[in-house]
Structure 1
Amino acid sequence: MAKRRKLEAPTAEAMAEIAAELSRVAPQARAAVAPIAQVAAEVAAARPAGDHPSQMARQRDANDAEAWRDADAQGRVVLRLPLDRIDLDHVVRDRMVSDDEDMAELRASLRASGQRLPVEVVPLQGGRFGLISGWRRITALAQIAREDNAPQAEVLALLRQGRDAAAVYAGMVEENEIRAALTPYERGRIAAVAAGQGAFASVDEAVDVIFAAASKSKRSKIRGFALVHEVLGDLLAFPAALGEKQGLQLAQALRDGQGARLRDALAQAAPDRAEAEWKCLDAVMAVPQGASQKGGRPRSLPALQREVLASGAVLEFGRSETGLVIRAQGLTLSPARFEALLAELRSGTE
């Protein structure tokens, strides 16, 4: 019969070996846990539970910063700019006259409630800005500053980036048409000026873009007033007073070749009021004989060559059936040079 084996308690050395073996097996069991879960567990263990509000605050700050950058890129951030850093003549204004009573009301409103609507500007060189819209507001603020002897007057403004000349003129006219309708002559004049400064290839294109929301018949009338400005604008003393019917009558007379007669009449007249000026023009205009030219440009208006000088001035020149045509916009000459130019022109006729 086999002897039974007697069981003995493990020694201390054997227990130590068993414990060491178990410690080597434990990492293999933990390896079954996904790495991302292990990282998340370690981060959660390292970050105290009370840090959640700080995390939410950081997220809000990041979202706010991104929203601000988007608004800044889109020109929706209101800036506070010194008045003396804004060029009011960056573009030729569409409105020719400013009513004193309306300006007084605007100043009173600004004093009572402050500036609630910002002006629009574009960036220029040297830290300056060019005004697009808001001429009346910024003029009223400047008048208030002079009345109050304010050392550093400021204006709230929206900075518009990357706007070409065509968009600038369209935006300026759109604002004024909404707030207070321009006169018929002012509409035609701004279209002619914008084309003359190179913002558009022609007056027709300027009218179509600037007054895109207007009906076809209204754009046709605006072209008529643009023609009046081109031919007679330098001689008219009260152009903004021309009514729609009067302006269209003048435009038709110009298309019928009466431009020289009308210019001569204006050059010899010295009207002191709008009614007298129109009476002078009305007396000169002849009834068109035969079929008159409807719409478009006048037959007698010459096609001029156009040059933009280094100074930014615009020079237009050419020949017509009646002689030479020379126009200069933004050109500054000393009295001596101007007299020398006149003398040269006079000598050519002798």
Structure 2
Amino acid sequence: MAKRRKLVAPTPDDLTRFEEEFRRETITRPMGGAPIAQVAAESAGAYDPRPPQDRERAAKDRSDADKFRDMSGRGLVMLEIPLDEIDADALVRDRVVLDTEEMNELQMSISTNGLRLPIEVYPLNDDRRGFRYGLLSGYRRFRAVQALREISAKAEHATIRAVLRDPSEMGGTFAAMIEENEIRANLSHFERGRIAVIASQQGAFVTVETAVDGLFPMASKGKRSKIRSFALIFEELGDMLHFPEQLRERDGLKLAAALRAGAEAQLREALARRVPQTATDEAEMIVRALSQLDPVTADPSKGGRPKKTLPPKADPNANVRETRILASGVNLKSIAQTDGWSIQLQGARINAEQIDHIMQQLSDLLDQS
């Protein structure tokens, strides 16, 4: 008969030892489903039940949306904006007057061929009048379309094509506005000086001088000097002039020089005597007022155009006594003049060392006599 084994209950120490051995032998597996379940989940997530044409169209839409966001951020998207949402006078314009004949031609061109070049606008934040955009460039085009809307009342003239710009990336609103007019249409010196003064008064620049340098960086030094002169005229006499945009450059520079010399009171008094009817009439008043002032002495500290050095005048009594053409090609002349004699040497082979040697020989010869 087989011998029965006696079972003994494990002690607490045995239980602890069993637990530690079990933990060492058991492989720790990450939480989650079985590998086949993970593969099935990934496949289900990547599956698109739409037809291939729809999937291709959706991918193209995503690509186009990315391109649109990129172009919109760079200001390359053209908008169709209602005229009533644009404030044309958000900036003080550099142009003082609009030529009626030129505006009529522009209106006819837009009416016939449409607006070929869009205007530029910038966003207005919290405008109380309801404007969403401020006009940056294209003032004449905007006014032309606005006039066409009033004349024809067509729906196509109720909106205008525009490009949204960020003025801070273009050197500021004033600089961006002036840049277009400098390129597309001639501004008078008075209009340039006027906008420089206004830009400094509105805090865009510290002084008028820095405004001229910042608004017209591509202009020559002489041109910027003229703009500063006309800026002074706008500051001192702008309220007295009726046709300032037609002020001749020569008269304007004389006015500026007189103002710097302290003649503001006399000029204002002369211009206030009567109201000119035409630009020619006003120009005559300015010339008359300047003629009554004391001559203005040029200030050397202001610089100016350098004086030309004129060649010495030829002696009318000079007489060439002898001319010799040497074998070396040198042309040698002796000339009798009123106050003495001169010897002239001409030739490509003459150098400074030879001249020094000739001078020494002449000195020795004359010392002996």
Q: Which residue of 1 aligns with 2:141?
A: 137
* Alpha carbons of structure 1 residues 166 and 253: separation in structure 2 relative to 1, 3 Å: farther
- The structure having more radius of gyration, on CA atoms, is 2
Q: Which residue of 2 aligns with 1:101?
A: 101
**For residues 207 and 223 of structure 2, what CA distance do their matches in structure 1 show?**
18
Equivalence map 1:287-326=2 (5 Å): 287-292=294-299, 295=302
* Alpha carbons of structure 1 residues 289 and 117: separation in structure 2 relative to 1, 3 Å: closer
Instruction: Answer whether contact 2:240 2:268 (CA < 8 A) is retained.
Output: yes
- Matched letter for residue 270 of structure 2: A
Q: Which residue of 2 aligns with 1:184?
A: 189
Q: Which residue of 1 aligns with 2:276?
A: 271
TM-score by length of structure 2 reads 0.64
Cα RMSD after superposing both structures: 2.9
What stretches of structure 1 of length at least 5 have no aligned partner? 1-33, 297-350
Q: CA deviation at 1:59?
A: 2.6
- Matched letter for residue 97 of structure 1: V
Q: Which of 254, 276, 281 pairs up with 1:249? A: 254
Q: CA deviation at 1:163?
A: 3.4
Q: Which residue of 1 aligns with 2:114?
A: 114
Q: Which residue of 1 aligns with 2:205?
A: 200
Instruction: Answer whether contact 1:255 1:293 (CA < 8 A) is retained.
Output: no
Q: Which residue of 2 aligns with 1:146?
A: 150
What stretches of structure 2 of length at least 5 have no aligned partner? 1-34, 304-369
Q: Residue 96 of structure 1 aligns to a residue in which SS?
A: coil
Q: Residue 268 of structure 1 aligns to a residue in which SS?
A: coil
Q: CA deviation at 1:165?
A: 10
Q: Which residue of 2 aligns with 1:66?
A: 66
Q: CA deviation at 1:39?
A: 7.8
Instruction: Answer whether contact 2:167 2:173 (CA < 8 A) is retained.
Output: no
> Once the two structures are superposed, what CA deviation does each residue of 1:264-312 show, in whole Å capped at 9, x if it has no partner?
111222111112212222222224354547649xxxxxxxxxxxxxxxx
Q: CA deviation at 1:241?
A: 0.6
> Once the two structures are superposed, what CA deviation does each residue of 1:96-133 show, in whole Å capped at 9, x if it has no partner?
11111111111111111111211111222255121111
Instruction: Answer whether contact 1:220 1:295 (CA < 8 A) is retained.
Output: no
Q: Which residue of 1 aligns with 2:321?
A: none
Q: CA deviation at 1:214?
A: 0.9
Q: Residue 94 of structure 2 aligns to a residue in which SS?
A: coil
- % of aligned pairs identical? 44
Deviates more, 1:192-201 or 1:164-173: 164-173
**For residues 97 and 45 of structure 1, what CA distance do their matches in structure 2 show?**
66
Q: Which residue of 2 aligns with 1:23?
A: none
Q: CA deviation at 1:175?
A: 0.9
Q: Which residue of 2 aligns with 1:92?
A: 92
Instruction: Answer whether contact 1:192 1:226 (CA < 8 A) is retained.
Output: yes
Q: Which residue of 1 aligns with 2:175?
A: 170
Q: Residue 115 of structure 1 aligns to a residue in which SS?
A: coil
**For residues 91 and 147 of structure 1, what CA distance do their matches in structure 2 show?**
26
**For residues 298 and 95 of structure 2, what CA distance do their matches in structure 1 show?**
36
